[in-house]
Structure 1
Amino acid sequence: MKIKQNIPSRSYSGIRWTTNKSNKKRLIIDFDKKCAYCDDADKYAGGSKMYHVEHFAPKEKFPELKFTYDNLLYSCPFCNISKSNKWPSESSSINVVGNNGFVDPCSDEYNNHLKRNPDGSIFYLTPVGEYMYYELKLYLQRHQLIYNLERVHKKLKEVKQEIENRKRLNKTVDNLESLYKDLCVVFYEYYNDFFDEID
């Protein structure tokens, strides 16, 4: 499976806003409230207030790109802090040297380097993917748990909607209600594991 279900698309180019706060408002929408690198939904880390504006080419090395929207990403604190100001070259346009570097998660190429196992854990496919996997700490169990929480939550909403639809048509819902209860248990177990992992 792909590491990211949808490749984010930046809605602006160049420098339009000169504060992180202004850029962040747009990034939240462009990245569908998910981390550019690991695809974790921000609601599991305290919402957008806890997420960061990440500079793909680090602003410490390339201050001229500090507010260039094409260089900005919406990132969870785990990926952003792990990546920090790491960069493989002295040029902002050279993001990979040999097997070291970072692929822009807004490109289709990102999914060529990293994937997900059926259990939701992330794994790498290439040497560059391996570099990103370890530098971004994509091996953390939280990424797997959040992926599964989202997946079960989506299924819960679908089943609940189908129950409501069938009730309106006076159709039987016993099997669906049983499935809904089972999914609630699964969601609770992932949720429990997630908070155990944080402690």
Structure 2
Amino acid sequence: MLLRRIVPQRRDEIKQYASHRSYKPYLREDFNKRCGYCDADDKFLGASAAFHVDHFAPQRFEERKTDYTNLIYSCRYCNGSKSDYWPSDCSQTSVLKEEGVIDPCEAKYDEHLARNEKGYIYPLTNLGGFIHKLLKLGLTRHSVLWKLQHIESNLDKMDTQIEELSTEQLKIYQLLSSEYRNLISYICEYGNK
């Protein structure tokens, strides 16, 4: 199964800002409110306030510091794991000898990483193995967040079919939905601490 539900796409036309932080609202939208690297939905991790603007090619490359095509909407975990890692002295060379990172806006990112039926992220290639290790994509957190999103999607589908439920089914659905929403509130609150 694909790692991500939607491949993020940065917009083509954007005003130039002096600070990379000024791009955050645009990146959030372009990255579908998800971490570019692990696909975690920001609502489970403290929303926009807890997400970072990662420099794909590190800030040591002055010419790319505020280049929108170099910025990634990233959860703090992936951004912290990647840090300022870069395999080369060239800001355009992100992979050398199967070591490095692929820009998550490239569809080929998903050629190197995937998810199993339980939501665990696993590598498909040697380069995928490097990315997986660098970003710590094997942590259970990624599977749990994927499962929460999966449950929410199914509840949303049920919302559209609510009139078709029997009285007993409706009670069960409402209880399940309420418990899920309370759990998400708790997780979001806990994620901000």
Aligned residues: 193
2: distance between equivalents of 1:188 and 1:22?
33
Structure 1 3/191 Cα, relative in aligned 2: closer, same or farther at 3 Å?
A: farther
Partner of 1:38: 38
2: distance between equivalents of 1:184 and 1:132?
37
1: distance between equivalents of 2:14 and 2:93?
18
Gaps of 5+ in 1: none
1: distance between equivalents of 2:173 and 2:25?
38
Contact 1:18/1:67, CA 8 A, preserved across alignment: yes
Counterpart of 2:46, as a letter, is: G
The alignment's C-alpha RMSD in Å is 2.8
The residue matched to 2:69 in structure 1 has which SS?
A: helix
Counterpart of 1:74, as a letter, is: Y
2: distance between equivalents of 1:49 and 1:195?
13
1:58 aligns with 2:58: yes
Displacement after TM superposition at 1:177 (Å): 4.8
Partner of 2:144: 145
Structure 1 13/87 Cα, relative in aligned 2: closer, same or farther at 3 Å?
A: farther
Contact 2:95/2:102, CA 8 A, preserved across alignment: yes
Structure 1 13/71 Cα, relative in aligned 2: closer, same or farther at 3 Å?
A: farther
1:52-109 CA distance string (max 9 Å, x none): 001111112x121000000001000000010011111111111111110001110110
Q: Please report the TM-score for the alignment, with normalisation by the length of structure 1.
A: 0.85
Contact 1:54/1:73, CA 8 A, preserved across alignment: yes
Q: Please report the TM-score for the alignment, with normalisation by the length of structure 2.
A: 0.87
Contact 1:12/1:69, CA 8 A, preserved across alignment: no
Gaps of 5+ in 2: none
List structure 1 segments (4+ residues) > 6 angstroms apart after TM superposition. Answer: 183-199
